[in-house]
Structure 1
Amino acid sequence: MTAPATTPDLLGMRLTHRIMRRDLHRLAATAGRLAGGRSCDTRRAKALVRWVTTLADEIHHHHTVEDELTWPLIERHAGTAVDLTVLSDDHRALDPLLDDLRRAAAGFLDAPIHPERAAVLADALGRVRDELDEHIENEEAELFPVIERYVPAAEWQEMEKAIRRGGPPAGFVLPRMAEVAAPGELAALKAEAGPVLVLLLGLLRPRHARRVRPVFGTS
């Protein structure tokens, strides 16, 4: 019988960070091309804005549960070995940027044929992208070693279960995680979740592909 892990498994958080950053980069690039004059019909505009707003909700949920669940757990075990002030300040800086992004998405949807609306959206996406890139790089470099040293694996696992409740739908999250995971990472996810993950991915991937196509399938 395998002994329980004593070090927290941070793969889920790493993949969550990775999908958010990847989406922001490719959405900003897509909006930039539309601002440069690429055509965008109503169907594509709706799909693009739906993706942007769902991503904004995902980012907000992620940093909210970090403030409410993750940071207290880390502080309880690491004590003075960690200072979360800067990371918490980053979260507060993100909220108005996400509000700007939602407004830019609504403005674009209202008139997608106007390149200037796409330019505003591209700018809003770029500002969130840059803020989140810096925040995540600092978090993973400075905080992940602290988590691995001080936080019990069982408590981290319970916290991750709580985080998943109320988060974005699995149909949005799981296929994107599978796309960014390296083969060894995906194998680890499947080993932990068991056959249910393989089944879910098989069910979710076709619908996910249909959502991806109008957003990213045309340059």
Structure 2
Amino acid sequence: MTAAAGTTEPTGLLLAHRAMLRDLDRLTGLLAGTTRFGRKRGAAVAGYLDDLCTSIHHHHSAEDEVLWPVLERSAGAHVDLTELTDDHAVLDPKLHRVRAGAAALRASGVAPAALAADMTDLRDTLHEHIADEERTIVPLIRRYVTPRDWAAVEARIRRRGAKMTFEAPRVLAVASAAELAEIRRDGGAAVTVMLAVLPRLFRRRERLVFGA
């Protein structure tokens, strides 16, 4: 998504970050306060954890493989992605530990003791990483990446096959009115249908996971 004035506004990136942090915060809080879920709710929580881990992996691998090369080409000597890339390298082991805890929860309906600690670690890591990313690379995207190049980045990332029934409702839930208008404007008829249908279906899943 790009700003009308011709400068690149990475709305999709910022919304993905916002949705990710929201889920990390509320899942960490849920697991800190509850260990016994029962089979049905435990399976729902485990499934949500799995989908979130997949989403996070999809996001950081897309940055590494799609966004970073475009940013390095566009910003040149103004960008150094070494630290952010190193951060990405430590995420997959953390995601693996959360997935292992989710599998144990799905099997028993009881969250293993390590799962709450692993979620807290993942949440804290990503809060720090995303703050660094938004402080350092978002200004560079706005300044150096053309709207045309940004649209190509977003198109390539969409083709990587994110699970839109999970991604889209979470993004829509954290979007402002202005951002929703931008999504509608850029997305056309398919997005209008998505806005009408997916959030309603997703709320049923959220009620089972989060109990509200």
TM category, shorter: over 0.9
**Please, which of 46, 53, 74 is the counterpart of residue 56 of structure 1?**
53
2:109 to 85, 108, 112: 112
Mapped partners of 1:29, 1:167: distance in 2: 29
Other-structure match for 2:16: 16
Q: Which residue of 1 aligns with 2:186?
A: 192
TM-score (structure 1 length as normaliser): 0.90
Indicate conservation of the 8 Å contact 1:8/1:157, yes or no.
no
Report the CA distance between 1:110 and its aligned residue: 2.4
Q: TM-score, normalised by structure 2?
A: 0.93
CA deviation vs aligned residue, 1:61-104 (integer Å, no higher than 9, x gap) = 11111111100000011111010000000000111111111111
User: By how many angstroms is 1:4 displaced?
Assistant: 6.8
The aligned residue for residue 97 of structure 1 is 94
Stretches of 4+ moved more than 3 A in 1? none
1:180, CA displacement in angstroms? 0.5
Query: Any idea what the Cα deviations from partners look like across 1:97-139, whole Å, max 9, x if unmatched?
Result: 11111111112222224x6x1x321111111111111110010
> Quick one: which of 48, 56, 81 aligns to 1:84?
81
SS at match of 2:34: helix
Match of 2:134 in 1: 140
Structure 1 unaligned residues grouped into runs of 5+: none
Q: How many residues align?
A: 210
Structure 2 residue aligned with 1:69, among 66, 71, 77? 66
User: Following TM superposition, by how much is the alpha carbon of 1:13 offset from its aligned partner in structure 2, in angstroms?
Assistant: 0.4
Q: Structure 1: which amino acid aligns with 2:192?
A: V
Contact persistence 2:79–2:140 (CA under 8 A): yes
Quote the residue 1:180 is aligned against: 174
Q: Could you tell me how far 1:5 is from its partner in structure 2?
A: 5.0
Distance of 1:109 and 1:171 partners within structure 2:
21
Taking the aligned partners of 2:73 and 2:193, their CA distance within structure 1 comes to 37
In structure 1, C-alpha distance between the alignment counterparts of 2:160 and 2:131, rounded to whole Å:
25
Counterpart of 2:200 in structure 1 is: 206
